[in-house]
């Protein structure tokens, strides 16, 4: 349930919500009415000009219902974090990149995120820019559920000194830099050496990230409710070339092999975090934080949404049955054979 974030004056609109019911797939659904939204934040993609008008329109709609609202169309973590910590809900407008950034900011404060798609694929978004008003009314009426997704905690150590850390919703990637030369990475799982990867890099992904870079590198697709870590090598050469799905609760430690002479970089959800040096240690485990997404679709939405993006649109069985079959005039009629 959305936490009480201090004493606030209620707006004229009192959209009520109830206690949380945890489902079998990590989702929550509201029941009896007890609480209303009071503070809602809106984060619009700073580089997509079409998101700012949507953000302003959403803000006006919320304010008309008596809900206190803040909007950021050019934002960074240091400025947005204090606002998020005082919010009940954050609406992110953009593509999956905007959702990833918003989720990483919202997770420590346990604030759910609703995504309005203004990007390309929109795996993580929930609402179309054409019907956001109807969708927003559904959310305010409590007609939604909360999906929880695992995140990763990444810590970087140099000479046993922690010098960088971050949470990831999609993946942590350790890879070569601009020079096209393979790197060597020693991988340890749960404290024991597993293998040394020789290639372009290594992807350590969540189930959410299994449909991103990991999928392009040949990894499997994992349902988002799982809590397993996925390890996928990138362009491996004469080394372990199969992806691995680790047990829930596993810890991965990657050490830059001393024989690696080329540049090695570490990215989190596509953002450059650090340049690594020989013998640097990177430890990845499940984060204490989880991302929480507001969902309006059915709980089994993931598979249909995924296949809609990965395959040419195939009509569902009901639609196919309703379309009468037409004979192909270019083909001769079939004749029965004994």
The torsion angles phi and psi of 294, rounded to 5 degrees, stand at: -80, 125
- Cβ distance 250 to 153 under 8 Å? no
- Cβ distance 30 to 18 under 8 Å? yes
* Distance between first and last Cα of the chain: 68
> Is residue 96 annotated as part of the catalytic site, yes or no?
yes
- Please identify which of the residues 14, 76, 88, 96 carries the catalytic annotation: 96
Residue 30: burial class (beta carbons within 10 Å; 0-12, 13-18, 19+) = buried
- Cβ distance 58 to 65 under 8 Å? no
- Cβ distance 292 to 148 under 8 Å? yes
Active centre residues (catalytic): 96
């Amino acid at each position: 349930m959305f936490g009480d974030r201090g004493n606030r004056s209620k707006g004229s609109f009192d959209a009520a919500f109830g206690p949380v019911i945890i489902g079998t797939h990590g989702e929550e659904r509201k029941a009896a009415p007890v609480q209303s939204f009071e503070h809602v934040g809106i984060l619009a993609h700073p580089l997509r000009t079409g998101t700012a008008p949507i953000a302003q329109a959403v803000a006006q709609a919320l304010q008309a219902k008596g809900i206190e609202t803040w909007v950021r169309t050019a934002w960074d973590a240091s400025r947005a974090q204090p606002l998020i910590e005082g919010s009940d809900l954050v609406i992110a407008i953009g593509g999956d990149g905007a959702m990833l950034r918003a989720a990483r900011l919202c997770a420590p404060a346990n604030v759910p995120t609703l995504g309005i798609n203004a990007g390309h694929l929109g795996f993580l978004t929930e609402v179309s820019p054409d019907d956001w008003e109807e969708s927003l009314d559904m959310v305010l009426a409590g007609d939604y559920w909360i999906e929880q997704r695992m995140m990763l905690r990444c810590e970087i150590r140099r000479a046993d000194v922690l010098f960088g850390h971050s949470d990831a919703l999609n993946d942590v990637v350790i890879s070569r830099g601009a020079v096209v030369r393979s790197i060597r990475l020693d991988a340890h799982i749960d404290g024991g050496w597993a293998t040394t990867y020789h290639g372009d890099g290594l992807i350590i992904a969540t189930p959410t990230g299994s449909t991103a870079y990991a999928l392009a590198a040949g990894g499997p697709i994992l349902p988002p409710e799982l809590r397993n870590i996925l390890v996928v090598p990138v362009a491996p050469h004469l080394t372990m070339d199969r992806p691995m799905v680790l047990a829930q609760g596993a810890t991965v430690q990657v050490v830059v092999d001393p024989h690696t002479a080329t540049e090695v970089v570490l990215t989190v959800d596509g953002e450059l975090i650090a340049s690594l040096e020989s013998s640097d240690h990177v430890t990845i485990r499940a984060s204490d934080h989880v991302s929480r997404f507001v969902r309006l679709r059915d709980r089994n939405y993931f598979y249909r949404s995924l296949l809609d993006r990965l395959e040419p649109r195939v009509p569902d069985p009901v639609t196919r049955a309703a379309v009468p079959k037409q004979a192909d005039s270019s083909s001769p009629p079939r004749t029965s054979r004994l």
